[in-house]
Amino acid sequence: MVHEIPCWYMRGGTSKGPFFLASDLPADKALRDAVILQVMGSPDTRQIDGLGGATSLTSKVGVLSLPTDGAADLDFLFGQVGIDEASVDTTPNCGNMLAAALPAAIEAGLLRADDGHTTRRVRTVNTGVIAEITIDTPARKPVYDGDAHIDGVPRPAAPVRCGFLDTEGSVSGSLLPTGNVRDTIDGIDVTLIDNGMPVMIIAAEAVGISGYESRDELNANQALKARIEKLRLVAGPLMNLGDVTKKPIPKITLVARARAGGALCTRTFIPHDCHAAIGVLGAVTVATAAVLPGSVAYDAAETSAGDTRTLSIEHPSGEFSVEVGMEGDRVVRAALLRTARLLMRGTVPVSPDTWLGPGA
CA-closest candidate to residue 334, choices 261, 290, 283:
283
> DSSP secondary structure string, 261-301?
SSSEEEEEESSSSB-SS--HHHHHHHHHHHTSTTSHHHHH-
Q: What is the pLDDT of residues 103-128, one digit of tens each?
A: 999 999 999 999 999 999 999 999 99
pLDDT at 360: 59
DSSP letter for 148, please: B
Residues in the chain: 360
Mean residue pLDDT of the chain comes to 95
**Which of 21-25, 117-121, 275-279, 338-342 is predicted least confidently?**
275-279
Q: What is the pLDDT of residues 33-67, one digit of tens each?
A: 999 999 999 999 999 999 999 999 999 999 999 99
pLDDT greater than 80 at residue 359:
no
Cα gap 228→245, rounded to integer Å: 13
Q: What is the pLDDT of residues 168-211, one digit of tens each?
A: 999 999 999 999 999 999 999 999 999 999 999 999 999 999 99
Cα gap 312→331, rounded to integer Å: 16
Q: What angle do CA 323, 328, 333 make, to 5 degrees?
A: 30
pTM: 0.82
pLDDT greater than 90 at residue 29:
yes
CA-closest candidate to residue 207, choices 219, 193, 195, 190:
190
Mean pLDDT of 302-319: 92
In terms of DSSP H, where are the helices of the chain? 29-40, 95-107, 215-220, 222-238, 280-290, 296-300, 352-356
Domains of the chain: 3-166+340-356 (3.10.310.10), 183-328 (3.10.310.10)
pLDDT at 305: 86
Kindly provide the b/e burial profile for residues 277-303, where b requires at least 16 CB atoms within 10 angstroms of the residue's own CB.
Answer: bbbbbbbbbbbbbbbbeebbbbebbeb
Question: Do the beta carbons of residue 254 and residue 267 sit within 8 Å?
Answer: yes
**Packing angle of the helix pair 95-107, 280-290 (nearest 10 deg):** 140
Which residue(s) pair with 326 in the sheet? 331
Question: Do the beta carbons of residue 128 and residue 90 sit within 8 Å?
Answer: no
Q: How many helices (H) and strands (E) does the chain have?
A: 7, 16
Q: What is the pLDDT of residues 133-180, one digit of tens each?
A: 999 999 999 999 999 999 989 999 999 999 998 899 999 999 999 999
Strands 251-256 and 264-269: antiparallel
Contacts of 117 (CB under 8 A, 6+ apart): 134, 135, 136, 137
> 226: buried, middle or exposed (CB in 10 Å: 19+, 13-18, 0-12)?
exposed
